[in-house]
Amino acid sequence: MALFKCFWTWQPPRLLFRQVKRHLASPIPAHYEAIIRGEQEVPEYFNFASDVVDKWGQVEKGEHRLPAFWWVNNQKEEVKWSFEELGVLSRKAANVLTGPCGLQRGDRIMMVLPRVPEWWLLLLACIRTGIVFIPGTSQLTTKDISYRLQGSKAKCIVVSDLLAPAVESAMAESKSLQTKLLVSESSREGWLNFKELLQVAPVDHDCVKTKSQEPMAIYFTSGTSGSPKMVEQSQCSYGIGLTAAGRRCMNLNTSSVFWNTSDTGWIKTAWSCAFAPWMHGSCVFVHHLPQFDPAVVLNTLASYPINVFCTAPTGYRMLVQHDVASYKFKCLEHCVTGGEPLNPEVFEQWKKQSGLEIHEGYGQTETVAICTNVKGMKIKPGSMGKPSPPYDVQIIDDQGNIQPPGEEGDIAIRIKPKRPFCLFSKYVDNPEKTAASERGDFYLTGDRATRDEEGYFWFVGRSDDIINSAGYRIGPFEVESALIEHPAVMESAVVSSPDPVRGEVVKAFVILSPAFESHDPEELTRELQDHVKTVTAPYKYPRKVEFVQELPKTAAGKIRRNVLRSREWGKA
């Protein structure tokens, strides 16, 4: 780790935070917030590395403040970089990409790395050079890598030792791949070594002048409802578009130490571990965390001055089963979640044990935050909050008409007469899918919800997850939320199952809590069914229950209901 050492010294949180209060009124985010509010036009040119990261580096010169990046692992190793150091190292990384790797502006690079500091350097290096980055999770298989390399036509891929063999197995079908870049302490035949090249790379690099709507990133969707699709994002969509979410939902400023546990292959890492916090001058805290370990997460929250925390609802579900109340979070002030619906029971358990509410946000790979629960507003457990600027969010019917409060429909974003700048550019090489995502004046998220009289949105389910049983439309999330309130349920997934009388019925796949694993299955099934009948409308109860050891999930940890549904309908 010697390459990454710096001379920033940790101090007690109270002293440290008092020292940085002078920066809270910094004008850097103000201009971009005006763009979000529609008071100013999107600039013709924008580059997050030069227009945000480098400018923070200039502001912090001569001042003692939080690091911009703070990385730790279980071996007590640490990496701390200021914005100025991030600038220096990412310029060197940019020279690696355009020098030994032979990449040019507009080329595509796949970055499939665990939570290592090099991921952040390469992210900024790509932005500096105009190279389009394509993140992927380290859980990808050879088949996954081959699919993504072929679809994206990436010219370079960067991985750690773990995935190098999988890349070599996928190369035969990946005609566009020219360069393999390894992040490792050792060398491998046929690979360039990033750490070695970074050591000797020159420091000087002129950042390219990228247009705001120029491609910056391609993310493969999580594949919850079909094969992963390539979503293209522009230079300004995340770079400027996440300004509002950083302030409103994440409650970020220059005194914030923000930890988000997301895998680097998931869009939430770009949102919460780079663009939103750095736009606001916050410290990005990263734990290597090879796998989500509740004890490690809780100990980290208790040991470091983290005051804003974000993890997926699945993470919170795991944490509340580990006696959160026995840990003392001296600095934690604000908790955030997203990526999947948050069950009200988990919200209440976390609040009871930690004393803190969870602020849920809703968005997609294709968007920035669509709905948020802003700090200070009334939180309705189970709701994903209210629309976040600059979006005009509505619930519409099949003809594109806006639904009144209380009526279920498709979650849609208004795109006419003017398309929001922070909405994705297109599905790459898939104009049919791009066109199909629009209905009238709106972009369709593919999710269904209701809106109440106070403007709060309530998630129902993916459009293709809705269960139609004997004429009753049933959203799986509500049934899952009811199930998880029972102490026997660790996790569940609800899908439709064929039925000769009703056409289809509700089926629940349930992972049991350890204390209930020895209980009689038939008796427990009846108990769960009766429980759901008392919590929600009786017609929604699962007429079929199957106890399982695990549920199929995407690399981002989202439950793949489509896989379970296909099995039920004999399509697997």
**Distance between CA atoms of 370 and 384, rounded to whole angstroms?**
9
Instruction: Identify the pLDDT of residue 6.
Output: 39
Is residue 192 within 8 Å of 158, Cβ to Cβ? Answer: no
Instruction: Identify the pLDDT of residue 96.
Output: 98
Residues 6+ apart with CB under 8 A from 240: 32, 35, 36, 42, 46, 212, 279, 421, 422
Instruction: Identify the pLDDT of residue 143.
Output: 85
Which residue type occupies 61? K
Prediction pTM value: 0.84
Write the burial class of residue 393 (CB in 10 Å: 0-12 exposed, 13-18 middle, 19+ buried): buried
For the chain, the C-alpha Rg in angstroms (whole number) is 24
Instruction: Identify the pLDDT of residue 172.
Output: 86
**Distance between CA atoms of 161 and 62, rounded to whole angstroms?**
39
Instruction: Identify the pLDDT of residue 471.
Output: 65
Q: pLDDT, tens digit, for every residue of 258-267?
A: 999 999 988 8
**Residue ranges of the chain with per-residue pLDDT less than 50:** 1-25
Instruction: Identify the pLDDT of residue 313.
Output: 87
Q: Cα dihedral sign for 519, 523, 525, 526?
A: negative
Is residue 266 within 8 Å of 386, Cβ to Cβ? Answer: no
Which residue type occupies 441? D
**Distance between CA atoms of 112 and 177, rounded to whole angstroms?**
14
Q: Scanning the structure block, which residue is given the tokens 């522009």?
A: 234
**Distance between CA atoms of 447 and 426, rounded to whole angstroms?**
18
In angstroms, the Cα distances linking 36 to 41, 51, 392, 535 are: 9, 16, 12, 40
